[in-house]
Amino acid sequence: MLQWTDAQLIQVVNQMNFTRYSLTSWRNWNNGWREGLRLDEMRGLTVLDYGCGVGMESLEIASQGNYVIMADISAANLALATRIMSLFGQEHWTTMQIGPEFPFLPNVYVDVIHCSGVLHHIPYADQVMRRFAGLLQPGGEVHLMLYSDRGWRHFIGTEPPEDVTTDPNFGNFVLTFDQVGSYADWYDEAKVARLAGDDFDLTEFRYITVDDRYCTAVLTKR
């Protein structure tokens, strides 16, 4: 994608935006994606997009009048996200490369941590959440999109196990939901509540998409 012309990249980003946010899209069925991640409620905030990828959600968040810190483990992703933000005329953002150990970020203090499609790939998600608590302003929020227990049941056909790594269907689950990477976990409301620990209150939980394969959660720092 870094080798594409500006026109090619703009066209693909527009197509990806339509797929992600259109009311006719399976992702945003019943506007669940936008509402679950509170994309239309953030205005004038400092938002850390943790695991931003190529910056699709960063672009959307910035376009709503927020300052975005794009954080990702991949330098190539950040380079592409930077180019996309510039092509679409966004000025209020910066980038931050995450080290190989996910929980450890430089000290930044933000209003919202947007973490979409990332935390379910991290075996030590509880450590990441504790680190998130230290980066948020009082009353700040974490917005999560996660693979769901219903997604496991729908695609794997068994009850989701407590420990995915010991389940014989683990590899199939990872490949079904994401062809890249070697780890993925499922979440339901109780599991997210445990993830909140002593640092957060679980403010909202919902299943999204037509088949409930994903879920979203909003956690508010205590």
What are 2-56's pLDDT values in tens digits?
778 889 989 999 999 998 999 989 999 999 999 999 999 999 999 999 999 999 9
Residues 174-196: b if buried by 16+ CB within 10 A, e if exposed: bebbeeeeeebbbbbbebbbebb
Is pLDDT above 70 for 100?
no
Contact 208, 32 (CB under 8 A): yes
pLDDT at 98: 87
Please name which of 189, 187, 124 lies closest in space to residue 152, comparing C-alpha atoms: 187
Q: Where are the alpha helices (DSSP H) in 97-141?
A: 125-135
Decide if 147 is inside a domain.
Answer: yes
User: What amino acid is encoded at 193 in this protein?
Assistant: A
Output 102 or 218, whichever has higher pLDDT. Answer: 218
* Lookup: tokens for 132: 């998130």
Q: What three-state secondary structure class fits 199? A: coil
107 pLDDT band, cuts 50/70/90, is confident
Each residue's pLDDT tens digit, 126-136: 999 999 999 99
* Lookup: tokens for 136: 């948020």
pLDDT at 106: 64
104 pLDDT band, cuts 50/70/90, is low
Determine the Cα–Cα distance for residues 27 and 210; give it in Å rounded to an integer. 8
Residues 12-32: b if buried by 16+ CB within 10 A, e if exposed: ebeeebeebbeeeeebbbeeb
Determine the Cα–Cα distance for residues 201 and 73; give it in Å rounded to an integer. 28
Decide if 1 is inside a domain.
Answer: no
Decide if 85 is inside a domain.
Answer: yes
Determine the Cα–Cα distance for residues 6 and 11; give it in Å rounded to an integer. 9
Number of domains in the chain: 1
Is pLDDT above 60 for 110?
yes
Determine the Cα–Cα distance for residues 176 and 195; give it in Å rounded to an integer. 24
Rounded to the nearest 5 percent, the helix, strand and coil shares of the chain are 40, 25, 35
CATH code where residue 119 lies: 3.40.50.150
Mean pLDDT within 166-195: 94
Contact 21, 28 (CB under 8 A): yes
Q: H-helix or E-strand containing 143? A: strand 136-147
Please name which of 160, 151, 155, 125 lies closest in space to residue 50, comparing C-alpha atoms: 125
Which structural domain range is residue 86 located in? 6-221
